[in-house]
Structure 1
């Protein structure tokens, strides 16, 4: 049985991955209390002792505000931590999957969808961290996949971590009786987390390199929230539950969508974002 070590093991992606593949791989899901990626000695010891075939490095400080306000700590976690993991992988000949982000394009102004050949221009500390780490890891470890994820979404599940996402955020506002104010001036890929997880073993078979991962989306953030409200059966309350934030990105539409044709050419398929939303709502029986 092949062995996989997950960093950031208590997070949104890794908890679901570990649950899905617990009988397929021998998995060490290393949460922050078990593995501090900024501690080089601890990283070396953990990876050496487990000797994994693959390391999926998902540990990161992803909050844009936190990273902007704490750039030194963000760098230590997001860049130095990734370097520590890559060096340890090299020592034991483990293959590494680095989870990066669409946020490397959040300073680009041409508009997406962006291919892997487009030069990223991040304008936040988090995006800059991810892009710098991508480059440094490639210098350390040739056996590396860099996966730039679109924004993953899902709902709370038993024994799984959660993170802010468009579906659960909209549903939470509904449950609180709060009206969501959402910009119609933002476009980004939105991907059902289980679509990524269910196909993940295919990634181990494709050439090393950088890949954009997730769903294509032609709808604005406001349009997606409208869809969510309709799909859960509350279309009659749409005006009560949803309003437009016309100030946000009014001077320049934010478009950080990714072109995922490259990874699709290797057999991975993703629903359109709207269809992924519908699939999740149907699978979890969220219609009210």
Structure 2
């Protein structure tokens, strides 16, 4: 156990920034006094004073979410993100996606996730590099283009699933698995197939998790989910229908599906210029998968 020296400054001991501006006071109220309402007041003052606006906006949105003031947080981010530097916009998008998910704004999630994919395809998000430094819960780590695309596609598949558009969700999850396969997304893909009555295909996908053939197959959450889905498949006495499902009644499905497919093909086809190296590796896989 590391003992703090009495000579260490207050802000080091309590992990708050030094100084006496409104942002520092907001962090003090948040982390030291544990007073979220007062912290929000000071974060607003920091934004209005131009004091670390991007950090104040993100921190305030997180607190508002915890206080179930999600709609207010969304409006704040959308209204004041223009005051933040360009390099802060991607993290603000991540904050908005999280807020949209919290309050069930699925269409907004889908729109923003597609926007993030577009930024990756054009090389803006990674500046043409194969990886970048990201931050989560105050910790820095490296994330590759492959990992980020798979993560975004996984979130997009989840959003489609919340809309009951299981075919679009299936397509997106399959793409994600082609890029960076892992157990949790496989379970979600299995769920989509089951919802379409394609139980035999669902069993095939699920076996990869149950037989530890995918990364994170030994994760307790993924294992529990896989076992629940397996039990549900075993208990299903319904005869297996045709492997060609009926299209959902949603009239926007075909256009939406075509948009997702066309975007992937246009961005990852060999004719594209300025492609990142990873697109060279998987473009042929995508052409083979979706040639039909």
The structure richer in strand per residue is: 1
Look at both structures and tell me which one has the larger radius of gyration over its CA atoms: 2
Q: What is the TM-score when the length of structure 2 is the normalising length?
A: 0.28
Structure with bigger RCO (C-alpha 8 Å, 6+ apart): 1
The structure richer in helix per residue is: 2
